[in-house]
Structure formats: C-alpha cells, structure tokens
Amino acid sequence: MSDTILRPAGLVFWSAFAVVSCVLYVFAMEMNLAAFTYHPRLVEFDLGPQPARSGPAMYWFGWTATSIGGGLVGGALALVVARGLAMRVWLWLGWSVPAVAMIVACYFMIPFFTK
C-alpha cells in the first residue's frame, strides 16, 4: 500500500485514540472503572475494581487498561465514521484534549496531596 493512503488514516486513528483514551482515563480514575485490580502483597490480579485485601490495592494498571481499550475502540470507530471530518479538527483535538485531561486529572488528585 502507498504511504499516502496510510498516513491520513493513521493520523485520524491516533488522534482519536489520544482524545478518547485521555477522556476515558480521567473518567475511569474518578469513577474507579478499573479493568482489573492488582494486589501487590498477594501478587494477584482481580477483574474489575476490588477492595483492598491484606495490603493496598493498585487500580492504576486497571485504569490504564480501560483507557487503552477504549482508545483503541474509539480510534477504530473514527476510521469508520469520521472519514469526512477535516484532518485539522482531529489534529487539534489530539493535542488539546490530552492537555486538558492532564489538568483535570491533577485537579482530582489535589485531595491526596493536601491531606
């Protein structure tokens, strides 16, 4: 396949992936929508968010998996649905939404640092 055919599709996919995964990560972190929970003391993984057992529970890995999975689905949907959407819109969203999501995630983390 030609490089000119793959390049615009790649930009659409990865821009949509960046937008969807960042928004979904912030949402998953705030609502605790972890795909799985890791218990480091027990060296065990559980599906979904689970309460701590014999030590702390780590949800970060599950939040990341949730956002990556959602980002892949969002990128695939963008390839199918957003063919007619202007490339500038996707590129603009691909940079601005992650920056805003980072600011929102930092805002949500303020209680952990101010206690």
pLDDT digits (tens, 9 = 90+) for 3-23: 544 567 777 788 888 889 999
Task: State the Cα torsion 58-101-90-12 to the nearest 10°.
Answer: -10
Q: Residue 4 has what pLDDT?
A: 47
Tokens standing for 88?
Answer: 């500038």
pLDDT mean over 63-90: 81
Exposed, middle or buried: residue 67 (CB in 10 Å: 0-12, 13-18, 19+)?
buried
What is the rounded distance in angstroms from the CA atom of residue 107 to the CA atom of residue 115?
14
Q: Is the pLDDT of residue 57 over 70?
A: yes
Query: In sequence order, which residues have a C-beta less than 8 Å from that of residue 26 and are 6 or more positions away?
Result: 101, 104, 105, 108
Tokens standing for 17?
Answer: 């992936």
Tokens standing for 68?
Answer: 């990556």
Spacing of C-alpha 92 from chain mean position: 18
With contact defined as beta carbons under 8 Å apart, do 62 and 37 qualify?
Answer: yes
Tokens standing for 28?
Answer: 């998953």
Q: Is the pLDDT of residue 63 over 80?
A: yes
Q: Residue 84 has what pLDDT?
A: 62
Tokens standing for 24?
Answer: 């979904």
